[in-house]
Amino acid sequence: MNEVTDKIRADKLNLFYGKNQALYDIDLRVKKNSVTALIGPSGCGKSTFLRTLNRMNDLIEGVTITGDVIVDGQNIYSDGTDIVSLRKRVGMVFQRPNPFPMTIYDNIAYGPRIHGTKKKSVLDEIVERSLMQAALWDEVKDRLNKSALGLSGGQQQRLCIARLLAVEPDVLLMDEPTSALDPISTLKVEELTQTLKERYTIIIVTHNMQQAARISDVTAFFLNGYLVETDETDKIFTSPTDQRTEDYITGRFG
């Protein structure tokens, strides 16, 4: 992969929970404006790796990390990294929708307000743009002042994506964002990723092989804390180089 187009680069990344090692020498390149799927059985390190990309693991006691994660040419683990700024640029959508117990409008305006935007006309514009980008505007434009908790699960997940987009990140990390959703809502989120990659770089953890095949440009297969292989998704699913990848994709284990 062309070095210049790398949005994110992990080099020799190791992670320990106390004395237990969870990631081993992970080397991974992520191209700008692409969707990268992280696949592998439960407990193989996919979500742990995802959380290293915006230092969410810093919140867990006893975690030690060695190696580098380079975002836009800067090592996010170097001294002096502004964590708040990093998490604004590299945002995360979690497995279960987690809207704040406030109105739909206030959910979206929350981040911009924290970052200093107070003018109502500007906030109105951000709320509308973010909801449109998340393919939710038409469904909620007449109920912006109603509680976000009244939305369906699929709508809540797209609301959380809109809330992320409101602070204008560069990278979207998605940790099994459709695992709690019904098939129709899942399809909407999948379609959304295809639209969003025109503006953002997306990395998604998924247990759904069909989903990885449908939406990703590149697939990375993790096993027991190791990155077994990474390649263009078509190649991973049709002619992987490692037998373990083929065994997992064809359902022989996992």
Question: In this predicted structure, what is the pLDDT of residue 254?
Answer: 65
239 and 229 in contact (C-beta within 8 Å)?
no
Query: For 22-36, what is the mean pLDDT?
Result: 97
174 and 180 in contact (C-beta within 8 Å)?
no
The separation between the first and the last C-alpha atoms of the chain, rounded to the nearest angstrom, is 29
Residue 3 has pLDDT above 90, yes or no: no
| Digit-coded pLDDT (tens) for 97-142 | 999 999 999 999 999 999 999 999 999 999 999 999 999 999 999 9
pLDDT > 90: what percent of the chain?
Answer: 96
Of 53 and 3, the one with more pLDDT: 53
Question: In this predicted structure, what is the pLDDT of residue 169?
Answer: 96
Sheet with 201-205: list strands edge to edge. Answer: 90-93, 171-175, 201-205, 35-39, 218-223, 226-232
Arithmetic mean of pLDDT over the chain: 95
In a domain, 19, yes or no: yes
- Type of residue found at 17: Y
Q: How far apart are CA 189 and CA 187, in angstroms?
A: 5
In a domain, 233, yes or no: yes
In a domain, 59, yes or no: yes
> Own/partner pairs for 63-67, CB < 8 Å, 24+ apart?
63/15, 63/16, 63/17, 64/15, 64/16, 65/13, 65/14, 65/15, 65/16, 66/12, 66/13, 66/14, 67/10, 67/11, 67/12, 67/13, 67/14, 67/25, 67/26
In this prediction the pTM is 0.94
Question: In this predicted structure, what is the pLDDT of residue 4?
Answer: 55
In a domain, 254, yes or no: no
In a domain, 36, yes or no: yes
pLDDT band at 172 (very low <50, low <70, confident <90, very high): very high
Check which CATH number belongs to the domain holding 200 and give it: 3.40.50.300
Query: For 33-57, what is the mean pLDDT?
Result: 97
Query: For 226-247, what is the mean pLDDT?
Result: 97
Count of structural domains within the chain = 1
Residue-range definition of the domain harbouring residue 21: 3-249
pLDDT band at 7 (very low <50, low <70, confident <90, very high): very high
pLDDT band at 253 (very low <50, low <70, confident <90, very high): confident
Question: In this predicted structure, what is the pLDDT of residue 248?
Answer: 96
Query: For 136-158, what is the mean pLDDT?
Result: 97
